[in-house]
Amino acid sequence: MITKWTAERMPDVTGKTALITGGNSGIGFEAAKALAARGAEIILAVRNEAKGKEAEKRIKAANGNAKVTIMSLDLSDLISIRHFTNQFLQQYSSLNLLINNAGVMVPPHSKTKDGFELQFGCNHLGHFALTGLLLPLLMETPHSRVVTVSSIAANSGEIYFDNLDGEKGYSPMKFYRQSKLANLLFAKELQKRLEAAGSTTISAAVHPGISNTNLLSRGSGKEPNALLKLLVKLFSQSAEMGALPTLYAATEAIEGGAYIGPDGKDAKKGYPVKDMMGDVLFKPDVAEKLWSASEELTKVTYIFKKR
């Protein structure tokens, strides 16, 4: 039983390498700051390098010894993902922790550079491709972890296999739910495949409950309006609290395939615990079909062996 686990209880991670997508704001930033304070070398993979540099400054202001590197990554562009992973593999000989955190939420119907619906393309397919291309390095790093950030929105999500691009009808929230269910299905299916390969790498999914982050910028990267921010503050927890499930899954002794979220009413706020909704939502046939579709769309085939 986890009792009121906080970042202060996080084990030392000195010497470990942690790659975080979208770590320049929100729960990704809070996770990066906390991991840096415990000694991890942080790589912030960000779309906007100026915001990344700003985040680096803030992390170093909180902890002068923090090791932070900014690398450019656009998850809505498969060429950018391949370029990023090529660079990363040239520069790093190990990867202890990959945190698939970046995301967009409820934008108007729009497409990625490769023609995917933006939320499914960025939140799921981008991370699917990134993880697949980094997998041999992860598997080469003993006891490495992949932590993928889902959402309680996944609870009412569905995968629209006949309308993944939203061309036959689009609802921003329905497609956000789809992308977040895809994150959860991916994390659990990845664990199954890692286990079958006899790997020490584990995959886990997390969700932050309802947290006060800039996701509501609707994919624009701009600040949401003041009224919306006030309303969100009233029914959400801080980004710092929202980052706890990520940090717990990243550093504590958990079982592969676990789904970690807040312990409060309806899992909206609180301290990290295992959320049983992960097992309820996981449908092996849907997860396998999603995996096949994702490999086909991204042209990234997973190879479950070391480099």
The residues annotated as belonging to the active site are 176
Q: How far is CA 147 from CA 114, 250, 265, in A?
A: 25, 7, 24
Spatial contact of 107 and 121, defined as CB atoms under 8 Å apart: no
Spatial contact of 78 and 86, defined as CB atoms under 8 Å apart: no
Structure tokens at 130: 């990134």
φ, ψ of residue 299 to 5 degrees: the values are 60, 30
CA–CA gap between residue 115 and residue 197 (Å, rounded): 33
CA angle at residue 180 from 198 to 85, to 5 degrees? 55
Q: In sequence order, which residues have a C-beta less than 8 Å from that of residue 104 and are 6 or more positions away?
A: 118, 119, 122, 123, 215, 218, 219
CA angle at residue 273 from 277 to 144, to 5 degrees? 95
Q: Which of 22, 67, 79 is nearest to 45 (CA)?
A: 22
